[in-house]
Amino acid sequence: MRPVRLMKVFVTRRIPPDGWAALARAADCEVEYWDSDEPIPAKELERGVAGAHGLLCLLSDRVDKRLLDAAGSNLRVISTMSVGVDHLALEEIKKRGIRVGYTPDVLTDTTAELAMSLLLTTCRRLPEAMEEVKNGGWSSWKPLWMCGYGLTQSTVGIIGLGRIGQAIARRLKPFGVQRFLYTGRQPRPQEAAEFQAEFVSTPRLAAESDFIIAACSLTPATKGLCNKDFFQQMKSTAVFVNISRGEVVNQDDLYEALTSGQIAAAGLDVTTPEPLPTDHPLLTLKNCVILPHIGSATYGTRNTMSLLAANNLLAGLRGEPMPSELKL
């Protein structure tokens, strides 16, 4: 009897236990992985993926033409443990007939929770207030000391009313937001009806919103969307939050807007680059809260993401429908 030929799978990082267990149970696969929580060096990734039938990667792994060439003709499936796919050379992948799995939906609620946390932390100046407690700045109660901006009766603008944008709006409603605006590629009347949200142009959203949350995908149309012109149109009391992708924002223009008083504050869970250098000018500002891209960072969500990514990979390798396949 001829031995069964195993399919080679390469995983670019240690992944949470549920996903790893699913791969370990796959009797038809030989799994290799980069045994670290840190990003795999490019040369090691090229070496690891050579001859692989399947690749499980993260959003920090750039899958470009060079890597696809290094993988060779065996590569049939790429599964990314992310909802974003801007790290994948999709046109090149499509040309080679490679299937792609991703992890939408499972991180929607967790990311929306983080957006709410970041918005409230920024608009109510919580990091500044905590620092004042620690450094002795808290001397007595003062009428205007540490005042920020409240959500009640406000106008909130959401850039991208997709799954995450809707989940954010759903959580904002009980805070007494008076009006929702949104912008995107096209109106989404069915989704917007729940919030009575109005589809407007990007300049109008910038001009009329008290709080703006970027929750869009990174596309050629959204790259650099939030730039000098955008910030100049915003109210001087407005707060800007980005939980989408760092490249949606021109960070030099954001720094200028924050230091000149064009806008009141900003909260970022995503930056360019990632990680942001510790000497970056934005990190010197009290009115800018920056988090290390932790939108989906709960134990439950990351475990679910890893399992979905593993199941996408295994289904694709076996010629079965993937639980979540990106249609190219």
**Residue 198 falls within a domain, yes or no?**
yes
Looking at residue 160, its pLDDT comes to: 98
By CB atoms closer than 10 A (0-12, 13-18, 19+), residue 247 is middle
Residue with tokens 């007595």: 140
Instruction: Name the CA radius of gyration of the chain, rounded.
Output: 22
Kindly report the CATH number assigned to the domain that includes residue 74: 3.40.50.720
Per-residue pLDDT of 135-179, as tens digits, reads 999 999 999 999 999 999 999 999 999 999 999 999 999 999 999
The answer to whether residues 173 and 227 belong to one domain is yes
**Residue 321 falls within a domain, yes or no?**
yes
**Lowest-confidence pick of 2-11, 226-235, 314-323:** 2-11
The answer to whether residues 315 and 263 belong to one domain is no
Q: Judging by DSSP bridges, how do beta strands 325-326 and 99-101 pair with one another?
A: antiparallel
- Active-site annotation holds for 280: no
Looking at residue 5, its pLDDT comes to: 76
Per-residue pLDDT of 86-119, as tens digits, reads 999 999 999 999 999 999 999 999 999 999 999 9
Long-range contacts of 174-180 (CB under 8 A, 24+ apart): 175/151, 176/151, 176/152, 177/151, 177/152, 177/153, 178/153, 178/154, 179/154, 179/155, 180/155, 180/156
The answer to whether residues 144 and 279 belong to one domain is yes
- Average confidence score pLDDT of the chain: 96
Per-residue pLDDT of 30-85, as tens digits, reads 999 999 989 999 999 999 999 999 999 999 999 999 999 999 999 999 999 999 99
Residues in the chain: 328
In the 8-state DSSP scheme, what is residue 275?
A: S
- Give DSSP secondary structure letters for 52-110: -SEEEE-TTS-B-HHHHHHH-TT--EEEESSS--TTB-HHHHHHTT-EEE---STTHHH
User: What does the pLDDT average to over 212-226?
Assistant: 96
Looking at residue 211, its pLDDT comes to: 98
> Encoding tokens for residue 149?
């901006």
Q: Is the pLDDT of residue 2 over 90?
A: no
> What confidence tier does 224 reach under pLDDT thresholds 50, 70, 90?
very high
> Encoding tokens for residue 265?
């504050």
**Residues 263 and 49: beta-carbon distance below 8 Å:** no
170 vs 181: CA distance, rounded Å: 13
User: What does the pLDDT average to over 2-7?
Assistant: 67
**Residue 180 falls within a domain, yes or no?**
yes
User: What does the pLDDT average to over 111-130?
Assistant: 98
Q: Model pTM greater than 0.75?
A: yes
186 vs 198: CA distance, rounded Å: 12
**Residue 2 falls within a domain, yes or no?**
no
**Phi, psi at residue 25, to the nearest 5°?**
-80, -10
Vertex 221 angle, CA 165 and 287, to 5°: 60
Looking at residue 322, its pLDDT comes to: 98
18 vs 120: CA distance, rounded Å: 33
| CA end-to-end distance (rounded Å), the chain | 39
Query: Which of the following is catalytic: 53, 87, 280, 293?
Result: 293
Per-residue pLDDT of 249-300, as tens digits, reads 999 999 999 999 999 999 999 999 999 999 999 999 999 999 999 999 999 9
The answer to whether residues 125 and 233 belong to one domain is yes
**Residue 1 falls within a domain, yes or no?**
no
User: 163 lies in which domain range?
Assistant: 107-290
The answer to whether residues 167 and 286 belong to one domain is yes
The answer to whether residues 183 and 231 belong to one domain is yes
The one-letter code for the residue type at 105 is D
Percent of the chain as helix, strand, coil, to the nearest 5: 35, 15, 45
The answer to whether residues 162 and 89 belong to one domain is no
> What confidence tier does 1 reach under pLDDT thresholds 50, 70, 90?
very low
Q: Judging by DSSP bridges, how do beta strands 54-57 and 7-11 pair with one another?
A: parallel
Number of domains in the chain: 2
The answer to whether residues 158 and 64 belong to one domain is no
Cβ-count burial 35-74 (b if 16+ within 10 Å, e if not): eeeeebeeeebeebbeebbbbbbbbebebeeebbebbeee
Q: Is the pLDDT of residue 3 over 70?
A: no
